[in-house]
Amino acid sequence: MATSCGSCCKIAPSILNADLSNLASECQRFIDCGADYLHLDVMDGHFVPNLTFGHPVVNCLRPHIPGVFLEMHMMVSEPEKWVEDMSGAGADMYSFHYEATSDPAHCIRMVRESGMKVGLAVSPDTPVDVVLPFVDTVDLILVMTVRPGFGGQKFMVDCMSKVKFLREKFHNMDIEVDGGVGPTTIHECAEAGANVIISGSALVNSDNPRQTINYMRNIVNEAIQKGSLER
């Protein structure tokens, strides 16, 4: 993932529901099918009720997929605590939740100083305007389209108003959506202005992930082109 560019479409599988016993080959399979990067959900059992993997898994995974961009979606309390470990494990982007820290600006600085890119996430119940003071200091805004914590939830279309609000204010921002996103909901995401697409179950369970990625990419690119022409 290069510098922020709201006119570029990026699609990343969330590997939460992949075969974790065969994680390296699963990750490579998605990259071979045309994914731009990988999205790893890190949960601590506190900020969200679920528990997943941490930096030791990332450290083991990294040598098997050299050069692949890894975004950590940190659904954890006190995200500052894990910045150094994730950077050391080979993570490329550290996306943490606004709701999980008392000092988002400090956490952003820590991530920057570690050499990783920064993502700032907001949960469905959080007003989107809380991110406005930080837009110039992060690489993307992640709008959750389900409640964080579990894969396979139903897409919350009401969250598209947040994406639309951000896109109207920031034409070149990377706006990421995550949760229930797949071929049946990609139109809403694209039309609202999302250009970075996280897709979990829809890709993991697809009989043809390459075709699914290409389909979603085409929908997003059409919306980007239409938006550019309208501006």
DSSP string, 21-85: GGHHHHHHHHHHTT-S-EEEEEEBSSSSS-B---HHHHHHHGGGSTT--EEEEEE-SSGGGGHHH
Alpha-carbon dihedral of residues 44, 50, 51, 55, nearest 10 degrees? -60
Which pLDDT value is given to residue 227? Answer: 86
| pLDDT confidence tier of residue 2, bands split at 50, 70 and 90 | very low
| pLDDT above 80 (res 31) | yes
Q: What is the pLDDT of residues 186-204, one digit of tens each?
A: 999 999 999 999 999 999 9
Which pLDDT value is given to residue 1? Answer: 39
CATH of the domain at 17: 3.20.20.70
Domain-located, residue 2: no
Domain-located, residue 15: yes
Domain-located, residue 62: yes
| pLDDT above 90 (res 96) | yes
Domain-located, residue 23: yes
What is the average pLDDT across 82-95? 98
Domain-located, residue 5: no
Residues with a catalytic annotation lie at 41, 178
Domain-located, residue 90: yes
Helix, strand or coil for residue 199?
Answer: strand
What is the average pLDDT across 143-147? 96
Task: Note the pTM of the prediction, 2 decimals.
Answer: 0.94
Q: State the residue range of the domain holding 41.
A: 10-230
Q: Which pair of tokens denotes residue 169? A: 């204010």
Number of domains in the chain: 1
Q: What is the pLDDT of residues 50-70, one digit of tens each?
A: 999 999 999 999 999 999 999
